[in-house]
Structure 1
Amino acid sequence: MKKLVSYFVGNSFLVNLLSIMMVLFGIISLAHMKRDLISNWSSKRIQVTATLTGASASQVERFLTYPIERAIKGSAGIDKIWSNSQQGYMRINVDVKDEFEEINDLETRIKDSIETIRGDLPSETKDIVVRHIKQTDSWFNYYAILNFDQNSDLHQNWLLKIEEELERINGISRVDTYGYTKDLYIKLKVDNMARYRIAPSDIYNKIKETFRIYPLGSIRKGSDSYSIEIENLKYDIESLNNLLIRSNNSSHTLRLKDLATLEYRLPKINRTNYTNGKPGISFNIFKDVEADSITLKEMLEDKLAKINKEAPEEINIISVEDGPAFIERQINALQSNALMGIILVLITLCLFLGFKTAIMTSIGMPLAYFFTFTVLETMGISIDLISVVGMLLVIGILVDDAIIISEQYMQNLEKGASSKDAAVGAVLSTWKPICGTVATTLIAFTPILVGKDSMSNILMAIPVVVFSALLLSLFESFFILPNHLKHFVTKANAHHESSYFQRFKRGYLRLLDGALRWRYIVLAGFVVAMIGSIIFASKNINFNFNLSISSETVEFIGALKKSEGLDDSYKQLAPLEEVMNKIDKNKYNNYQFTIGQNYTNGKKQEGPQYFSYRVSFSQLDNNVEANKKDVQDYLKDQLKELEKTGKFERLEVKIAKGGNDESRENLVEVTIQSLSPFNVEEVTEYTKKAIEDLQIEGIKSVDLDDSLFKDAWVFTPKKNEIQSRGLSLGQVSSQLVQFINKNEVYEYTSGNRKIRFLTYAADGDDLTFEELGNLPVVLANGEVIKSSEIGTWKKQKKQSVIRHSNLMRKVVVDLPFDKEIVKKEVLIKKVDLLTKELSKKYPDLMFNAQDADEQSRKNKNSMIKKFAFALLGIFFVLAIVLRSIMQPLLICSAIPFGVIGVIWAFYFQGLDISLMAIIGIIGMAGVVVNDSLLLVVTINEKRRDWFSFHRPEILEGAGSRLRAIILTSITTLGGVFPMAYAIGGDSGFTKGLAMSMGWGLLFATVLTLIVLPCMLLIQRDFMVFFKRKILRKGIVEEIIEEVDEVVIVTNKLEEESVIH
């Protein structure tokens, strides 16, 4: 090591060349790196879907879902199977184990298993699809088109045109429009069809045949080639009206217009949208995974500006949710906070080490960042939210190694060493503890790097950044920094420790001396504080392990008690529109108002009585968080007044994340599972009443699963009557369905336009139960009979959706709660006590209370495991460095002590401890362990043995390392606190990380300087006690035995002498 360091200290050309090359490589890599919202990651889920047209949910479950689940359950690598069975359709999701890598092989085996039982499935089963859920594109931006008239052909044609133009932009993969388009509705004339003995299937087949392609091939005449084809009917209403259905030799023809009425129109509107009070529609833009978000945004904005200029009068496209702005905000926060951090680091270093030393020490920061860009670009990692989190995490850590070496270098100069000897000596005397400190930080993030679960895949960029930045910082500190110090800092700063620091140091040593005298009381006090803080946090602070990454909006959702339709709902909601108009328009970007749909507890609710307001904010506004809180508080105040009107069944104001409408955050669920069908209605009603009787404060409502039994109109066929009239059940079904649903018989495609051909006899939404028996059925001879003649109609309770979890039927009772009143973990414990009583009443059922957010549950378990592995790894490294078991335990105890600061900081600021906060605690652990290790190594050097080890040695060691510990802590705090408190721009998503790392480090540093020395002296007390009371006893007994033997021998000699 000495030869290597001496070589670099004496070779300035190589050192400077390496520095320049690292910067150049970094600049080139940065110029070619993709900027994105989040890194691409592969889902470990396989999905199986199939249709069984006309079958009820229970029939689909029995004849389709169960057989397929049983067929695939034995495949290796499956973690969980869960499914939904509903009217005519089923979906099975197969979650793959985290450690299982052969997903394509598993997909093939599932396909083979299904193919094996294909003959046992109903013959009507269609469209069995098995696919691995992969990320082929990602959401980019959400736009609204104001004043768009969906009934206008001009507007519809313009929309098709701009969709094509937008999809031609390089980087945009698709455009999803949320509006209604016109289709061709073919209303059958039942009487005419009966007269001419035409079945619905005759019309279906004729339409399909008309548009079918009949290729004939091509011929060649010399050098010319001729294609030969049969001309198809081109789509237009007139041609279709004249479509020939039947003709005879007498020139009698039957055309489609004789049997049906054709109308090109919109479907029945069941949802209306308004943006900033103006009607319109919206669309999402998705980009391919390779496109750069920021560059693509600039191209898209230019294109939309041109489109708006050429758009029909009054139409205007505006951005509602800006995806790239989210990453822009984080990059801006990184730039401003990094600059702020560098300034604070320089000022601190100048105050303690002098200007030249401060400059040399800080050089490692840009070198580490540029080298990190090269590593990221090589590994295919983009500049996204996760990699930015890693860069923010290491802002204050990068110069820690350099500070320790620079501080030791200054001490060597003060002792009279030459600049070269001081530089080499600084590295040689500190390289072991520095390597240990870096190793502990790297070990802390290793579980995330090597993890196989989805959370590790998403967060992988963080440890990659930490590893590359810290290892380069370590290299720079050992081989580049000493050379710079030798050439630019040749004399010791005689006054580098200011009088202020000297007074601070004397005060610290007096405080430490008093703490050492009362060490047992000090330690006991902090232990009690730690235990009390953890208990307090478990009851009063919310933990959020959801890794949802998107911009936040304020949502005002609800349901009216009564509504006659969309227009009636709009009139009733006029007071809400007035409420929205009173919000200061400078506080938000825009708001969207939807009638006919909302998402409640992560489940889609449809009907004219449901509505939602969504207020969006600009992510580039420095006051976005404050504005969001102001709008939320205002709407909550207005909610209380609106509830008094009595119009609303439900009203709720909440923070929602874009693209996460199905999120089940702030929900506790009670799951009820069984291997066989059970009385769902009875069990769920009893469970609901039992929960309500508990009267747990904070529960907003007890919501039953939407898959409960609902009213159904069931036709029971008289099979003998059907057969006697020359019909089959399939023929009866194909006729009755025309009065209930619209049947898609063909989809005509022309360019980007798709027109569905839908047939029907009557609008099923207007049908009443009493009219069912009068529905006509046409016999083969043209006679028309009533459906009541061949069957009976009755009302029954039917389950609309049947859910399975690992082949067990599953029903869920949702408990939305106010996290300001009751903590999720506390609520789960209270409800879990009830589930045990429910299990006694229904012994065949399994009851369980849990967090409704499944991904959050997985992340929580994963993070607990990673944190445990990190602690064990840190302990292992420390044990190797210190060659001790006890002292690594003392050092690791600083981590839970640091959590005390995190707990109280988050509590007083009203923040949830999020997943990013946990990452910050891991980062804090690395820094705290670094300082503690440095202090312990220094104090150990003062100890010759335990008997001569007293307070003076500890005071001397702590005092000698006070400046280095204070410097590393201040520089780290200077890097994270500007981010935590938006000094350099609000960091939003990463605020929790900065807050936990900053306050945890601040508190843990105090503990390192005060409590750790006390624990070392307590260790000395026990070691001395052990040696004096235990080991000493053994030594004394041996001496006594030896003395006794000597006495015996002497007595014998004296006796022999007397005899002689």
Structure 2
Amino acid sequence: TGAETDARVWTMVHGEDGSFSAAPAVTVSLAKRPGANAVVVSEAILHRVDALKGNLIPEGIHVEVTRDYGETANHKANELLFHLALATVSIVVLIAFSIGWREALVTLIVIPTTILLTLFASLMMGYTINRVSLFALIFSIGILVDDAIVIIENIARHWAMKDGRTRIQAAIEAVSEVGNPTIIATLTVIAALLPMMFVSGLMGPYMAPIPANASAAMLFSFFVAVGIAPWLMMKIAGKAPLHGAHDGVHSETRLSRFYGRVAAPIVASKRNAWIFLGIVGVATLLSLTLFATKAVPVKLLPFDNKSEIQVIVDLPEGAALEDTERALFALADAIGPVEEITTIQAYAGTAAPFNFNGLVRHYFLRASPELGDLQVNLSAKEHRKRASHDIALDLRERLLAVPLPEGAKVKVVEVPPGPPVISTLMAEIYGPTPEARRETAAIIERFFEETDFIVDVDNSMGDRAPRLTFGIDEPAAADAGVLQQDILDAIGMAFGGQTVGVSPRGEGRDPLNIRVYLPRSQRSWTQEMAAIPVPRRLAGTDAVPIELGELVEVREEVGSPTIFRRDGHFADMVMGELAGRYEAPIYGMFEIQDRIKAFDWASAGLEMPAVSLYGQPADETGTTLLWDGEWEVTYVTFRDMGMAFGVALLGIYILVVGQFGTFRVPLIILTPVPLTLIGIMIGHWLFGAAFTATSMIGFIALAGIIVRNSILLVDFIRHTTDGEKPLKQVLLEAGAIRFKPIVLTALAAMIGAAVILTDPIFQGLAISLLFGLASSTALTVLVIPAIYVALRGPDWRPDRSNPLQTVANPATGDSTSASQQT
């Protein structure tokens, strides 16, 4: 009774002897509504399942949870909250050792206050607490204390001067002294981050919480730093002994002496300054060669460490469900010895419950007897030594040894860390005729297969399925007195079965159909099938039935090719994944393009296809290869982020022009931005990490952070220049005084980055911040003084007799006068 089952599902678990044992299974997949808390929904479902045991779920039925994204989300959130707390404590300890414990206590209050305000702003903007938004907070924690550190350190420095001022007056003047540059410095960081919100494509919504939350954190941190931090300083340390006159001064003296020893030779002469700037410039250019030599590869996002892997099996069209089932079991046996695998679910003739990746790859359409899936579930990442990507590479090697029917395709699919695509490396072939497209696609597919780091090669055309064609011999049917409908009914019953009745079930449930059909193994054209009797109703009631084989002509033909269209354009696709030497699509593209140029297309009777990197061809009279897949997302993301970086630099330049009233000083302030590349590239090379979209986020954010340090330094140089001291002495004094807060703010940001260094997705962001800050901070306090000396000389003094003599800008022609800088 019931409909014929065209799909079969099995679950495989470890038996007592360690091998996998299979049992029939039914998979139930539940998804939350938009806006619901995944953790709460997951827990509620599990509680309901427990309550149904013994009632709706009878004894002997084992219920097993194969995927629980609510538990995964809860685990990641708790892990990130721990990192958030660790970064906070680390920064507080840093302030305690560098300035004092009272100042550290102020910082301990400032950080949670800013974070809570940021979370409120995030709620108002419609963001939820998820992995990306929490990473935005961890990323922000290192820079949101910058304003507070500058304010607190300057208050402590003024209190340690012992010049007769009251604590309140000294605090007010300390805040006033760094107030304007702190405002501009905060706005520059926001100007660097905010344009990233306008990245388009699939990566846009994925990245949006980072600039949104980080910008909100910076804005709130400024108001907390200038409003709450001074008040807390007065309350906590207003009547305390002047510890700055002891620990603080000695610590500052050590830092000042260290800075003086390093910077003095550089600013001693124009020649030394130019030599130093030349060395730094060459080092920056050399760091970029790591891209050219592929020592630092470029990729959209690195592989994540997930708890599941999927194996997709495509047998030749026309294969039976039993063939697919046998192939799945053989593949499961091959990967069974992998110790990290906990359970496997096999789906023959149907798709496994799909996730976001399956939605984009159209796995929900996989409902045919020749299609199968293996859902491979791994142990928790803290219980295994290997990452899921390394396990996937191992599985792929094991599966290659499994004998399968000719034409079968096996793919190992990993859950992508970001926006999913149909295939990592995908070539779309456009052309004037179907033949030209298919022949070109076949050659491109061969190039894919010949490239050692391109795996899981497939195409959208597939093999033409065999087709059994029945032609009715009308004269023979008429002579025998057989209706054509009777012939069709006989064929339909033989190959599809027939419903002959129903079986009631009671209790208001729908009845089951009673169907009669042949076993799958007998559904082929054989002598037995040809002997099926067909009634001769037109020949009279006493006429003997005639055999079906006498009335039809049966031919086995090749089916029609698959026709694929994208946005109204006919196209054929060649797809592949990357594993081995290179795992980013751009390197596969370069390899295939080299092979295209080297191939003799004329001998194949084809024209060499034009290669397009973005956008479907407007003219299809010639053959075109369009790169799609992950490359399309990568191109759009890096294009938009490059534009965001340009807008950020323009915004920063305008802000600094407004602050200093000159068009040339901002150019000096922006000079250290490229210096971040030295540390960024070296850091990625040391860690063997690819330069990813998150690395680019770190690079763009560094533009605002480094410019902030430059602003503080240049502003102090402006206020220190009095016309009596030579430029060299002014630069050394200003650098020595601002060196401590610059180092502290850099260390705070580096601490915030260090706690996420082990995360596979945001490691690029952490490396960019950690190493980029280290190199650019060390060079900023040396490069800016070197630029002043290179353009003006070490002994330059402003002409006090000329009120229009520039002191802020080492170049001439600006309007800032000495009288304006008192």
Q: Which bin holds the TM-score, normalised by the shorter protein? A: 0.7 to 0.9
Q: Distance in 1 between matches of 2:505 and 2:678?
A: 64
Matched, 1:506 2:268: no
Structure 1 partner of 2:776: 1004
SS at match of 2:428: strand
Q: Which residue of 438, 441, 454 maps to 2:186?
A: 438
- Alignment partner, residue 681 of structure 2: 903
User: Which residue of 533, 555, 580 maps to 2:287?
Assistant: 533
**Paired AA for residue 406 in structure 1:** I
Does 1:832 find its partner at 2:609?
Answer: no
Quick one: distance in 2 between partners of 1:926 and 1:305? 53
1:917 alignment partner, one of 652, 672, 695: 695
- Could you list the per-position Cα deviations for residues 107-145 of structure 1 after superposition, in whole angstroms to 9, with x for gaps in the alignment? xxxxxxxxxxxxxxxxxxxxxxxxxxxxxxxxxxxxxxx
Q: Match of 1:965?
A: 742
Evaluate the alpha carbon distance shift between residue 616 and residue 979 of structure 1 in structure 2; reply closer, same or farther with a 3 A threshold.
same
For residues 31-50 of structure 1, the aligned pairs below 5 Å read none
Which whole-Å CA distance do the structure 2 matches of 1:661 and 1:769 have between them? Answer: 47
Q: How does 1:612-631 map to 2 (within 5 A)?
A: 612=374, 614-618=376-380, 623=382, 627-629=385-387
Q: Which runs of 5+ in 1 are unaligned?
A: 1-262, 982-986, 1025-1060
**545 and 740 in structure 1: CA distance in 2 versus 1, 3 angstrom threshold:** farther
1:672 offset after TM fit, Å? 0.8
496 and 715 in structure 1: CA distance in 2 versus 1, 3 angstrom threshold: farther
Q: Relative to structure 1, is the Cα distance of residues 612 and 292 closer, same or farther in structure 2, using a 3 angstrom cutoff? A: closer
2-side partners of 1:857 and 1:362: how far apart?
42
Asked if structure 1 preserves the Cα contact closer than 8 Å seen for 2:679 and 2:772, the reply is yes
Q: Matches of residues 421-432 of structure 1 in structure 2 within 5 Å?
A: 421-432=169-180
Q: Aligned pair 1:520/2:259, yes or no?
A: no
Which residue does the alignment assign to 2:567?
Answer: 806
Would you say the 8 A contact 1:672–1:845 is kept in 2?
no
The answer to whether the 8 Å contact 1:396/1:971 transfers is yes
Which residue pairs with 2:710 in the alignment?
932
Q: How many residues align?
A: 744
The CA deviation at 1:736 is 4.9
**1:343 maps to which residue?**
89
Alignment of 1:762-841 (within 5 A): 766-768=522-524, 781=538, 786=548, 789=551, 793-799=555-561, 801-821=562-582, 823-835=584-596, 840-841=607-608
Secondary structure of 2:434's counterpart equals coil
Secondary structure (helix, strand or coil) at the match of 2:28 reads strand
1:273 maps to which residue?
Answer: 11
Q: Distance in 2 between matches of 1:820 and 1:811?
A: 27
| 1:333 corresponding residue in structure 2 | 79
Identity, % of aligned positions: 18
Contact 2:311/2:410 (8 A) holds in 1: yes
Task: Give 1:818 deviation, angstroms.
Answer: 1.9
Shift, 1:829, TM fit: 2.2
| 1-structure distance, mates of 2:134, 2:69 | 16
The CA deviation string for residues 1005-1045 of structure 1, in whole angstroms up to 9 with x for no partner, is: 22222334333433446999xxxxxxxxxxxxxxxxxxxxx
> What SS class does the counterpart of residue 905 from structure 1 fall into?
helix
Other structure's SS at 2:2 match: strand
- Partner secondary structure for residue 455 of structure 2: coil
- Residue 810 of structure 1 and its aligned partner are, at CA, apart by 0.7
Q: How does 1:23-422 map to 2 (within 5 A)?
A: 263-264=1-2, 267-276=5-14, 277=20, 278-279=22-23, 280-308=25-53, 311-415=57-161, 416=163, 417-422=165-170
Are positions 1:483 and 2:231 aligned together?
yes
Q: 1:891–1:1012: 8 Å Cα contact kept in structure 2? A: yes
Alpha carbons of structure 1 residues 963 and 264: separation in structure 2 relative to 1, 3 Å: same
Cα deviation for residue 754 of structure 1 reads 7.3
What is the alpha-carbon distance in structure 2 between the residues aligned to residue 639 and residue 876 of structure 1?
A: 54
Distance, in Å, in 1 between the alignment partners of 2:77 and 2:398 is 41
If asked which structure has higher relative contact order (CA below 8 Å, sep 6+), I would say 2
1:885-909 Cα deviation digits (max 9, x unpaired) = 4443443343332233233323332
Q: TM-score, normalised by structure 1?
A: 0.61
SS of aligned partner of 2:560: strand
Matches within 5 A, 1:675-714: 675-689=432-446, 696-700=451-455, 702-707=457-462, 709-714=464-469
Aligned CA-pair RMSD: 4.7
- Paired with 1:734 and 1:1012, the residues of 2 have a C-alpha distance of 90
User: Cα 1:727–1:1010, aligned 2, differ >3 Å: closer, same or farther?
Assistant: farther
The question of whether the paired residues in 1 share the 8 Å contact of 2:203 and 2:419 is answered with: no
| Paired position in structure 1 for 2:428 | 671
Quote how far apart the aligned CAs of 1:959 are.
Answer: 1.0
Q: Letter of the aligned partner of 2:287 in structure 1? A: S
Change (3 A) 1:646 1:652: closer
* SS class of match (1:315): coil
CA contact (8 A) 1:275 1:591 kept: yes
> Per-residue CA shift, 1:959-980, capped at 9, x if unaligned?
1100110111112222221232
Quote the Cα distance in structure 2 between the aligned partners of 1:506 and 1:960: 11
* Cα distance between partner residues in 1 of 2:90 and 2:66: 38
Native 8 Å contact 2:304 2:389 kept in 1: no
Larger Rg: 1
Distance 2:740 2:273 in 1: 23
- Structure 2 CA distance for aligned equivalents of residues 668 and 419 of structure 1: 65
TM-score by length of 2: 0.77
| Aligned-pair CA distance for 1:526 | 3.0
SS in 2 for 1:316: coil
Quick one: structure 1 residues 758 and 999, their matched pair in 2 at CA, closer, same or farther if it must change by over 3 Å?
Answer: farther
Residue aligning to 1:978 = 755
CA distance in 2, matches of 1:746, 1:429: 93
Q: Is 2:409–2:456's contact at 8 Å kept on the other side of the alignment?
A: no
- Name the CA distance, whole Å, in 2 between partners of 1:367 and 1:966: 24
CA 1:908–1:387: 2 relative to 1, 3 Å:
same
Partner letter of residue 955 of structure 1?
L
Rounded to whole Å, the distance in 2 between the matches of 1:765 and 1:913 is: 54
Q: Structure 1 residues 420 and 501 mapped into 2: Cα distance closer, same or farther (>3 Å)?
A: closer
Instruction: Rate the CA distance shift 1:556–1:840 in 2: closer, same or farther, 3 A.
Output: closer
Shift of 1:425: 1.2
Q: How does 1:626-641 map to 2 (within 5 A)?
A: 627-629=385-387, 633=390
* 8 A Cα contact 1:273 1:595, kept in partner: no
Q: Secondary structure at the match of 1:540?
A: coil
How far the C-alpha of 1:882 sits from its partner, in A, is: 3.2
1:579 maps to 337
On the 8 A contact 1:547/1:915 being kept in 2, the answer is no
Distance 2:258 2:397 in 1: 55
Change (3 A) 1:634 1:673: closer
Residues 369 and 742 of structure 1: CA distance in aligned 2, closer, same or farther (over 3 Å): farther
For residues 532-569 of structure 1, what are the alpha-carbon distances to aligned partners after superposition, in whole Å with 9 as ceiling and x for unaligned?
33231352334343599994435567789999736754
**Secondary structure in structure 1 of the residue aligned to 2:174:** helix
Distance 1:429 1:902, change over 3 A: same
Taking the aligned partners of 2:552 and 2:469, their CA distance within structure 1 comes to 13
CA 1:708–1:753 in 2, change beyond 3 Å: closer, same or farther? farther
Separation in structure 1 between the aligned mates of residue 416 and residue 50 of structure 2, nearest angstrom: 24
The within-5 A match list for 1:715-726 is none
